[in-house]
Amino acid sequence: MTNRIRVFAGECTAEFEGTRDRTSRGIIVALVKPDNTVLVHDSNGYSPVAWLTRPASLTIDHSDGTTIEARDGEQQLQIRFHEMYEKSTYPGSVAGVPVGTCSATGEALVRCRGSVVNVETGREYDISSGAVVLDEHCRDCGLPLIRVERGSRFEVCLDRACESIDSAVISAFDRTWSCPECGDALRIRQSGDLIVRCDSQSNGVSIDGQHCETEFEFPNGVVVGTCTCGLPVFETEDGRSVSPCAEQSCDTSSYVDS
């Protein structure tokens, strides 16, 4: 576990210089988080009496007692301990909504800020906002399966390296539609995100001296029909109908159901 939280308890003087100059003395607990954020808590209330978030530099000097000094531009927080009662280091992790465990290891998983995170190892698995973490587990690695709407509803492993949602989408929809500009097959390629472009553009083929420029990101949602121009119409998780052809003034409120 690389994320460590350092805890210091004792009598100290905390001096902050910067936007809110303040000096405090008392028996406190100082926390140094993995990103070097320093928080000073006393026994009164829930807010820290002094803090500096993600400082540019942090030093902890034990040569003459213990002094913690954090600096960020013109802001400085110095904590000088007159008497140290306890100092320890503990593992830390993000805290999120529990979404189960890895069946192979029993390690807890939580959902936090667009990712599923292993509480024990800190490993993050990026997932889309509409993805649903299921109770079923991957037979290969033991991680939960997720349900993702990308053209269709797919149930794949949480770990893209184990089972790629991109590969599933490409397998299901590559060459399914024709380019409304040149009539060639639309290919789906992975380039950061899933990109749809016609074979004419991929192969450098020109039409009447012009290269076809049909290209768009593969939308989230489920394909529910086909526009009059031939491109797919997607229904998003909030019930809206969207299509890559919308910018070409097609009416996505009228389409042929799949």
Predicted local confidence at residue 241, as pLDDT: 78
* Alpha helices for the chain (secondary structure H): 165-173, 199-202
Residues 126 and 188 in one domain: no
User: Can you give the residue range of the structural domain that contains 38?
Assistant: 4-91
Residues 56 and 124 in one domain: no
Residues 68 and 38 in one domain: yes
Of 91, 107, 139, the residue at which a domain comes to its end is 91
Structural domains counted in the chain:
3
Predicted local confidence at residue 14, as pLDDT: 97
For residues 176-199, one letter each, b for 16 or more C-beta atoms within 10 angstroms of the residue's C-beta and e for the rest, the string is ebbbbbbebebbbeeeeebebbbb
Residues of the chain falling short of pLDDT 50: 1, 205-207
Predicted local confidence at residue 245, as pLDDT: 75
Contact 212, 179 (CB under 8 A): yes
Of 61, 91, 121, the residue at which a domain comes to its end is 91
Distance CA 114, CA 126 (A): 6
Of 169, 195, 218, the residue at which a domain comes to its end is 169
Residues 144 and 177 in one domain: no
Element (H, E) at 81: strand 75-91
Distance CA 234, CA 236 (A): 6
Residues 178 and 252 in one domain: yes
Predicted local confidence at residue 208, as pLDDT: 53
Predicted local confidence at residue 153, as pLDDT: 92
Q: How far apart are the first and last CA of the chain?
A: 49
Predicted local confidence at residue 207, as pLDDT: 47
Q: For position 67, which CATH number holds?
A: 2.70.180.20
